[in-house]
Amino acid sequence: MIQVYTGNGKGKTTAALGLALRAAGAGLKVYIAQFAKGRACSELVALKKFKNVKAEQFGSCRFIRKISQQDKNSAKKGLQKVRSVLKSKKFSLVILDEINVSLNLGLLQLNDVLELIQKTPAATELILTGRNACKEIVELADLVSEIKDVKHYFEKGVTARKGIEY
């Protein structure tokens, strides 16, 4: 199945990681590619404790405001790695965290991601996260959850907290 977690609310990556935890607990092999992310985060520390979970980042340690060639190269490297992972058929669950953001920023081409989705082995659960999922991706998906921001403590000036947001 192809699952998409999108919307402007907090919790898209968290939902995907919850699914990774469930799959790992069931003994399934999980691969997580984090696009447009490159800084240390608590979930990567925790995931290293699971022998059946592999997580990699394909981004920089900064928030992307202006796109660099390095940003594009990192995203393309990530997509190439995911192609290899899918082709290997070694992982039951593959998560493409913030892939939708990478598409919206122009780091990746939509046709490349659509081709990747279409070539996903039938036995592999593929999860795509990030705001503003393209309608073409939504149409291909078997499940789409839109996480809506109703209220957020960032509006009160609360900054990102270790163990909660990163």
The pTM of the full predicted model, rounded to 2 decimals, is 0.91
Residue 62 in this model has a pLDDT that exceeds 70: no
Percent of residues, the chain, with pLDDT higher than 70: 97
Residue 77, Cα to own-chain centre: how many angstroms? 14
* Cβ–Cβ under 8 Å, residues 121 and 90: no
Burial class (CB in 10 A: 0-12, 13-18, 19+), 145: middle
pLDDT in tens, 116-133: 999 999 999 999 999 999
What are the structural domains, with CATH classification, of the chain? 2-130+137-156 (3.40.50.300)
Tell me what pLDDT residue 65 has: 67
d(CA 162, CA 152): 17
Q: Provide the token pair at 112.
A: 């490349």
Q: What angle do CA 125, 106, 122 make, to 5 degrees?
A: 15
Contacts of residue 150, Cβ cutoff 8 Å, sequence gap at least 6? 9
Q: What angle do CA 19, 64, 117 make, to 5 degrees?
A: 40
Tell me what pLDDT residue 155 has: 85
